[in-house]
Homo-oligomer: A and B are copies of this chain.
Amino acid sequence: MSRDGTNFTSDNVTGVSPAILAALVGANEGRVPSYGADPLTAALEARARAVFETDELVLFPVATGTAANALALAALVPPYRALLCHESAHIMTDECGAPEFYSGGAKLIGLPGAGGKLRPERIAAAIAAAAEGGVHGAQPVAVSLTQATEAGTLYRPEEVAAIAELAGTHGLRLHMDGARIANAVASLGCSPAEATWKAGVDVLSLGATKNGAMAAEAVVFFDRRLADGFAERRKRAGHLFSKQRFLSAQLLAYLEDGLWLANAAHANRLAGRLGAGLARLPGCRLAHPVEANEVFAVLPDAAIEALLAQGFRFYRWPAEGGGTAIRLVTAFSSDDADIDAFLAAAARHTEAVAAGQAA
């Protein structure tokens, strides 16, 4: 299925993992109660509790990551309060104001941080600054971390825990945007529980679409009291599917037999190869360590142009500290040949540039 392996723009240009497609076909049997009262949804929740090792978990399938994030944040942040997140977070820059819409106008406060990561000191400073404002400022009541980050880096469980502890001290809840949580868990080598609730995460946006589903994500509450009213929020947002079995079937297949982690590990391995290969080329360096399935590399401009002209597709990305990197995303459906082809082309172009410069 990995036709068009030259497209590294995103993991969302891929199709559906075969096991998930098979599950969809298999779910098309007979009549079942609508709106989530079906057996597949029940099986999914049981499966998620096993995977995350907690019966406290409640889970709501939705179809998009924007919906998962915006609904989760609306459950945490009243309209008149604020959320802290990284200034480059997807919720801040790429969802056209979805969190503001869903929360009724809550304020997102973006904080800087190297490598796409929030750090406790900045969070503490932001809380203190808002407190100065009293009723005039919007007081933060939650923090959102992106795992893996927008820079393709990871929070270690102990880094999450340090943020969670600080947040808890000030009464803030912790959300994790896990659009690529599978890549993070697979890379960190910890358990899903250790990566999330054991480190203090209250609510997780569990991504699946980028890693093999057709269109399926889940809002996972580790503290079920936070889910009060959530079913109604989802309904009125148009994210309660009448034929919910087809969402649940995707997620169930995703979490079964380790598919989610296998898919992610595969993509991570290829990204690792790609990053290591690029780092060795003349005039190239990695903008961030490759810790999941994204590579951010700084290449000579002429080499970038040559790669694009050759038909490879990828986005340019502002590099921290200035300059421009390219972002290359691998996926469950990428293969070694795709990586080999890109590296060979990049080698050729960067060497040509180096030769030209030397001349």
C-alpha spacing A232/B97, complex, angstroms: 9
Is there a chain B Cβ closer than 8 Å to A1's Cβ?
yes
List chain B residues, Cβ under 8 A from A3. 29-31
For A93, the chain B residues whose CB sits under 8 A away are: 133, 136-137
Does the CB pair A94–B136 fall under 8 Å? yes
Among the stretches A101-109, A190-198, A263-271, the one at the interface with B is A101-109
Closest to A104 in B: B104
Q: A101's contact among B63, B215, B237, by CB below 8 Å, is which? A: B237
Q: How far is the CA of A106 from the CA of B107 in the complex (A)?
A: 10
Most B CB atoms within 10 A — which of A31, A135, A139, A243?
Answer: A31
Alpha-carbon distance between A246 and B101 when the two chains are bound, in angstroms: 26
Give how many copies assemble into the complex: 4
Residues of B within 8 A of A54 (CB): none
| Majority-rule SS of A interface residues | loop
Among the stretches A32-40, A288-296, A343-351, the one at the interface with B is: A32-40
In the assembled complex, the Cα of A37 lies from the Cα of B7 at a distance in Å of: 14
A24 to B20 alpha-carbon distance, docked (Å): 12
On chain B, the residues within 8 Å of A231 by CB distance are 135
A125-138 CB mask vs B (1 if < 8 Å, else 0) is 00000000101111
Task: Answer whether A98 and B235 are a contact pair too, CB < 8 Å, given A28-B16, A30-B1, A209-B243.
Answer: yes
A-B contact pairs, 7 of them (CB 8 A): A70-B238, A80-B233, A82-B97, A97-B107, A101-B105, A105-B236, A209-B242
